[in-house]
Amino acid sequence: MTIITLESYHTTLKGIYLVTGQGVTSNVYVFSGETITIVDSGNGAVENRIIPQLKEIFSKIPNVSKTILTHFHFDHIGGLAELMESYVLDILIQREEVPFLRDINPMRIKEINAGGKIVVGEYLFDIIHTPGHSPGSVCLYEKNTKCLISGDTVFPNGSFGRSDFPFGNHEDLLQSLKRLTEIDVKMMLPGHGLPTFSAVNQQIKLSFMTAKSYF
Ligand SMILES: [Zn+2]
């Protein structure tokens, strides 16, 4: 696994770390604060264990209080088991995804609501419901930095999430991508691959146009 300090990309992104893994696994974004918030948790494979990475980042094992999941796919939620062994953790996920979290203690699951806001580390993000890749996929958007955590809905360079998985829907994905073209994004932190910081609005537009041409 590799740890990337996002401040090295952009000075406004303080206290945010990207942990990348091996194989089919999501990016894990670590937000520091009084307690740690983690966005997506990877696939849970031994080589992608998160806690050793946290120890590396903070030079001790910090307290993790919540995990926000952009959607329910295994490569984003597999790491929850490791975290739940060590922490009493709130798991925040959009309502439509809850039925898919079968092996997780329902007491720990807290629904988040599109249109609302959510504290992530030192930041306050808007929750944007972006169905299509999955019914309850969300993107998180922070107005001051214009930073978008885009899950598997949109990726850099005109890519976008697959809509042909079970419960995916291409028409919904198109609507979601269109919606993302309507906000001003300066930085994209995707669910897979490296973040991007240049001409992000144009990249999202390209994703929308390309997805449209798939019909
Ligand atoms: Zn996915």
CA of 184 to the centre of ligand 1 (A): 24
Structure tokens at 87: 């922490």
Structure tokens at 77: 């939620």
The length of the chain is: 215
CA of 142 to the centre of ligand 1 (A): 22
Unique residue bearing structure tokens 């030192």: 122
What CATH architecture is 2-213? 4-Layer Sandwich (3.60)
CA of 71 to the centre of ligand 1 (A): 7
**What was the pLDDT predicted at 1?**
78
7, 72, 127, 95: CA torsion to nearest 10:
-160
CA of 72 to the centre of ligand 1 (A): 7
Please name the amino acid found at residue 73.
H
What's this model's pTM, rounded to 2 decimal places?
A: 0.96
The string of pLDDT tens digits covering residues 138-182 is: 999 999 999 999 999 999 999 999 999 999 999 999 999 999 999
Residue 102's pLDDT band (cuts 50, 70, 90): confident
CA of 49 to the centre of ligand 1 (A): 19
Unique residue bearing structure tokens 């739940």: 84
Residue 73's pLDDT band (cuts 50, 70, 90): very high
**What was the pLDDT predicted at 68?**
98
| Overall average pLDDT of the 60-66 stretch | 93
CA of 54 to the centre of ligand 1 (A): 24
CA of 162 to the centre of ligand 1 (A): 8
CA of 174 to the centre of ligand 1 (A): 16
